[in-house]
Chain A
Amino acid sequence: MSSVGELLDRGTVVRAAVAVTLLAIAIFVLPHIAGSDWITTFTSVAIYSVVALGFGILYGRAGMISLGQVALLTIGCWIGTRLAYATALPFPLLLLAAGGITCAIGVLVGLPALRLSGIYFALITLMFAGATTVVLQVTDFPNGGGGFKGRSVTGALTTSTPPVRRPSWAEGDVAYYRYTVIVCALLFLIALVHVASKPGRAWASIRESEPAALAAGVNITLYKLWAFALASFSTGVAGFLLAAQVGVPRAITFQTQDSLTLAATALIGGIFSLWGAIVAGAFNQLLPFLFQAQWGVNPNFLLIIFGAGLLQVLLTAPGGLADQFPKDMLNLGRLVVRTVRKLVPAKGTAS
C-alpha cells in the first residue's frame, strides 16, 4: 500500500472524487427522482455489479475464466434464504454467513484452476453452473416452509410463503435500495484495496505469466485461491441481497446461460476496471428493464445486442466501455476545442 499512498497522482484523486460523487447521487438523489420500479431495477443493478466484479477479479486480474459466477450468486441466495428462514440472525450476520459459505464453496470450485486454464477451466465452471441449476430445480428451491430445509407440508410454493426478511430499518424498497448500494460500495472498496496492494500485484503477475510470477516469489496456489475466495465472498453477499430484494427467490430465476450473459456484459463493461463492473451491472439489469417495462420490446433481443457489443469490444476496445468511453469523451472534447479555436480567429478576421 505504500506505493498507493506515496505515488498518489491526480488521476487517482479525480477517480476517487467521481466515485464519491456518483455514490452520493445514487444514495441521496436517485430515490427522490426515480419511481419505485426504477428503484427496484437500480437495486438489481448494484447487486449484479458485484457479480460482474467477481468475474472481473478472476479474469481481468488473475486471468482465470470462470463461467460459474451466477451459480455462486444462486448459492449465496439459497444459503442466505435458508438461514433467514431457519434462524433469527441479524441481517448483517446473514450477509456475512452467506458470503462466508459461498466463499468456501467458491474456493472448492476454484481448485481445478490450479491445474486447468483457459477454455478447459471455463467449461468446468460452466458445468458447475449447470449442475447448480439442475440441483436447485430438482429440490424445488426454496419451496416455502420454515426451518433450514424449508420443505412445506404441501410440497409446493404457496402464496403464504414468507418473504426473506430485510433489515428492520430498511424494509421499504427505497431504504433497501440504499442499504444495498452501501453494502455493494463496501464490497467494491474491499476489491479496490486488494487490487491496489500485494494481492493485486501478485494477480497481475500471474495473469502476465505464471513462470514469471513463480520466479518473482508468488505462491500461485495461494493467490489463485485468494482470488476465488474474494470473488465468491462478494458474490455470496450479493446473492443474499438479491434474496431479500425479491422476497421469495425461485429456482427458475437463475438459469445457466445467465453466467454467459454476465461474462459477455462484464467484457463489454471492461474487466480491467472496477468501473466496468458497474457498466456490466447496468447492461445486465437496466437494459432488460428498459426493453420490457419501458419500451415494450422483447428483452431476448438483448442477446443479439450483447453479441454485437462483445464483438465490437473484442475487436476495437479490449479494455471495454469503462476504458474506451473516457478516451472517446476526451477526444470529442479536444475536437470541440480545436473547432472552436479555428472558428474564433476566423470570425475576428472577417470583422
Chain B
Amino acid sequence: MIRVEGLTVRFAGVTPIDDMTVEFAGGTCGLIGPNGAGKTTFFNVLSGFVRPAAGAITAFGENVLRMADYKRARWGLRRTFQTEMAIEKLSVFDNVAMIHEHSGAKRVSRRSDVLAAIDFVGLQASPKAKVGGLGAHERRLVEIARAVVGQPRVVLLDEPGAGLPDEQTEELGVVIQRIPEQFDALVILVDHDMSLVSTCCQTTAVLDFGKLIASGPTREVLRDEHVMRAYLGTETDV
C-alpha cells in the first residue's frame, strides 16, 4: 500500500500538486487527470527527481522520501516514462539486465530473471537485438520488462499506451493486468486512454490542477460528475 499525506509541490509560483492525500491500496491503480494535473510530477516525487515542499509518502511501511534517489529502484520502486527511455545502443537483454544488476537481486539468477521478464511481456524480438532497431510497441514492452525485473514492489507506468494503435494498447493492457499477480507489486497507471485505465485498474484517483478531486473504484470514479466536468468533458463523450 502507498499512503500519500498532504503532498505539496511548488515550483516558482506554480503548485503542480496541492495538498494531495490519497491511498493506493494494491493491484493496479489508475491515476488520471487532464494535462498539467500533476500526475507525472507525482511520479517524479516518488522517483526522487522532485523534492516536495510538504507532505509524506509511505510505501509498504517505508518513508519513500527519506530514501536516496538512486536507492529507490533497489528498494523496488520502478517506473517507465512518457517518452520511452529504453537504451537504444544496448541489446534488449542488456537493457533489462542493467536494471537487474542495480536491483540487489542475486547475480546467479540474472540470466533466468532477465529472460523471464522479457518472456513475461511477450516480446517477440531476439534478446540480442539492439533496442534502437525496435518499433514503438516493442520498446514499450522492453521498458515494462525493465520495470518488472528483479523483485519490484511498486511499478509506475507513465502513459505506456501513448502513440500506440488500439490493438497494441489492448495487448499492453493484458500485460499490465498480470503484473500485480505475477510479481506481487503495486502498479500505478497514468494514461489518457480511458479504456486502458478502466480495463486494468480496480481503483482510480483523479487529479485536477494539482488537487485530488476523486478516488475510489474506477467505474464509479469515471462516472463522477466532478471528474467528467474536469477531465472527460460531457457524459456523452464517455
Contact = CB atoms under 8 A, between A and B. Distances in A.
Interface in A1-58: 2-3, 6-7, 9
A9 B128 contact: yes
A209 B71 CA distance: 17
Q: Give chain A's interface secondary structure class.
A: helix
A202 B90 CA distance: 11
B111 A201 contact: no
Contact of B49 (A202, A214, A217): A214
Interface stretch (B10-18, B93-101, B133-141, B159-167): B93-101
Interface in B60-103: 69-74, 78-79, 81, 85, 87-91, 93-94, 97-99, 101-103
Contacts of A7: 91, 93, 127-128
A205 to B, nearest CB: 6
B89 to A, nearest CB: 6
Interface string B42-66: 0000011100000000000000000
Nearest to B109: A2
Contacts of A9: 128
B87 A208 contact: yes
A210 to B, nearest CB: 10
Nearest to B110: A2
Nearest to A221: B70
Given A3-B111, A7-B93, A209-B85, A198 B101 contact: yes
A7 to B, nearest CB: 6
B79 A204 contact: no
Contacts of B69: 214
A201 B90 CA distance: 8
B111 A217 contact: no
A220 interface: yes
A201 B111 CA distance: 15
Interface string A175-203: 00000000000000000000000100110
Contacts of A6: 111
A216 B146 contact: yes
Contact of A217 (B73, B87, B93): B73
A218 B74 CA distance: 9
A330 to B, nearest CB: 17
Contact of A204 (B70, B72, B90, B93): B90
A46 B166 CA distance: 55
Contact of B98 (A202, A207, A209, A219): A202
B49 A204 contact: no
A125 B136 CA distance: 38
Given A216-B73, A219-B70, A208 B88 contact: yes
B97 A214 contact: no
Interface string B10-53: 00000000000000000000000000000000000001110000
Contacts of B78: 215
Contacts of B114: 3
Nearest to B107: A2
Contacts of A218: 70, 98, 102
B207 to A, nearest CB: 21
A214 B85 CA distance: 12
A272 interface: yes
Interface in A272-292: 272
A193 to B, nearest CB: 15
Contacts of A272: 89
Given A2-B111, A3-B94, A211-B47, A217 B85 contact: no
A215 B98 contact: no
B97 A3 contact: yes
B14 to A, nearest CB: 20
Most buried by A among B87, B90, B97, B128: B87
A159 B146 CA distance: 64
B70 A3 contact: no
Contact of A215 (B47, B89, B97, B127): B47
A119 B50 CA distance: 25
A201 B97 contact: yes
A201 B101 contact: yes
B146 A201 contact: no
Contacts of A198: 98, 101
26 contacts: A2-B97, A3-B93, A3-B94, A3-B111, A6-B111, A7-B91, A7-B93, A9-B128, A198-B98, A198-B101, A201-B87, A201-B97, A202-B98, A202-B102, A204-B90, A208-B88, A211-B47, A211-B81, A211-B85, A212-B87, A215-B78, A216-B73, A216-B98, A216-B99, A217-B71, A217-B74
Interface of B: 47-49, 69-74, 78-79, 81, 85, 87-91, 93-94, 97-99, 101-103, 107, 110-111, 114, 127-128, 146
Interface of A: 2-3, 6-7, 9, 198, 201-202, 204-205, 207-209, 211-212, 214-220, 272
Q: Would you list the 6 A-B pairs with minimal beta carbon distance, nearest first? A: A217-B73, A217-B102, A201-B98, A212-B85, A208-B87, A219-B70
